[in-house]
Structure 1
Amino acid sequence: MRFYTRMPKELVPYFDKELEDYKIHFKAGQLQMAWRHLERAHIIGQAYPFHHSYVHWKMLLFGIHIKDTGEVIGQIPRLLIGGVKSFVGKIPVGNTGGADVPPLKPLPISEDLLEVFKKSGVRPIE
């Protein structure tokens, strides 16, 4: 069994860019676009415990900000368990991380994010 601990350095700039875009849109009040960038950061970071948990933390804070009880309640178990699942490499690849998506359901990854993985030389679960 392989344990996943660190995000490959080739992926870090893409992950960071999604979080930066999230902040920009959030501050501008463009909440739908902000959320979209959190989902994209989740897909990029979900195989790595710290990054995965960090995105769920941001999603929890987002849910609190927009007063979405369902999102807040849905993020709590994801925040507690997501990092552990990442550590042992048992993630639903492509899952966007929001409470509106079953936590164990794999989803297709958009072409542009597949290109991110390809450019970085990292498979979505590596």
Structure 2
Amino acid sequence: MSARQAFEAEWQQARTAWRTGDLNLAFHHLERSHILGQRHTWLHVRSHLGMGWVGWLRSDAGELLGQAMRVLAALLFSSIWVPAGNTGGANVNPFKPMSIPPDLADILRAEEFRRATQRNR
């Protein structure tokens, strides 16, 4: 499974959770989608927009403000530098690398291997 496919799977799980009112589970899946998508500008932005939506549903002004700033940063910096494993919520330092869950690390390693293989052709 590619990182994009895994991102879409996490995104769909987040949508299902927020539709059923489980905002904590929705946010969890959005954090996972953030880890998977942060090197792809549009996916990175989508993960932050989703977190902002959950912040809106929670009436959490801090999350809304934090996500607005992170959307701008994602637009500017996704292709330059991202802190690996950062979950993207307003409750974490946006510059702090974090450990990557093993299942996501496997997907990201495979993705990097595919990219390296394509570059060397």
Corresponding residue for residue 11 of structure 2: 19
- Normalised to the residue count of structure 1, the TM-score between the two structures is 0.84
Select 2:70's aligned residue among 57, 68, 78.
Answer: 78
Corresponding residue for residue 32 of structure 1: 24
Give the 4+ runs in structure 1 shifted more than 6 A: none
Q: Which runs of 5+ in 1 are unaligned?
A: 1-8
* Partners of 1:17 and 1:117 in 2: CA distance: 15
Q: Which has the higher relative contact order, 1 or 2, with Cα contacts under 8 A spaced 6 or more apart?
A: 1
Q: Which runs of 5+ in 2 are unaligned?
A: 116-121
The residue identity in structure 1 corresponding to 2:40 is Y
Q: CA RMSD in A?
A: 1.5
- 1:117 deviation in Å? 2.2
Aligned length: 113
- Normalised to the residue count of structure 2, the TM-score between the two structures is 0.87
Given that residues 48 and 83 in structure 1 are in contact (C-alpha distance below 8 angstroms), is that contact kept between their aligned partners in structure 2?
A: no
- 1:84 deviation in Å? 1.6
- 1:10 deviation in Å? 2.5
Structure 1 residues 85-104: aligned runs within 5 Å: 85-88=77-80, 90-104=81-95
* Partners of 1:12 and 1:48 in 2: CA distance: 9
